[in-house]
A = this chain, B = another copy of it.
């Protein structure tokens, strides 16, 4: 699997060690296109590496986030779930049922809107979030 290898290289390049627990977490997240909570990662990764501890999952997620390989996703119901991060600014489309995630780029007038709202409000705009929620083709309606 390509992305798994990339993540493992990235971990190594940054001076962190390659260990079985880390491989298990990476395998789980890098091959999923669903939003996963720390506990879900723990459960899935344990199928391949039963000795895995939840604490290690937290610590590994922290590193993967720091390396920019995963990003945190906020949803109405929870805010501690993660997905693969994409380069550049990408907006998220999340399935409310199964957590499947698609990315789409902001080829909309987002920059323009930020400038406009900034002027009107007197705020210095730094960042923005755009997320769409829906039901994916597999979950039906």
Do B136 and A122 touch (CB < 8 A)? Answer: yes
Interface-forming stretch among A16-24, A31-39, A54-62, A102-110? A102-110
A87 close to B (CB within 8 Å): no
Which residues, 90 to 110 on A, are CB-close (under 8 Å) to B? 93, 95-96, 102, 104, 108-109
A66 close to B (CB within 8 Å): no
A67 close to B (CB within 8 Å): no
Do B141 and A134 touch (CB < 8 A)? Answer: no
Known: A104-B121, A109-B109, A123-B137. 20 other contacts (CB 8 A): A79-B79, A93-B117, A93-B121, A93-B125, A96-B126, A108-B108, A108-B109, A108-B113, A118-B134, A122-B136, A123-B134, A124-B134, A124-B141, A125-B133, A126-B133, A127-B134, A128-B132, A129-B129, A129-B130, A129-B133
Q: Can you pick out 25 interface pairs between chain A and chain B where the beta carbons lie within 8 Å of each other?
A: A74-B74, A79-B79, A93-B117, A93-B121, A95-B123, A102-B123, A104-B117, A104-B121, A108-B108, A108-B113, A109-B109, A117-B132, A118-B134, A121-B134, A121-B136, A123-B137, A124-B134, A125-B132, A127-B132, A127-B134, A128-B131, A128-B132, A128-B133, A129-B133, A130-B130
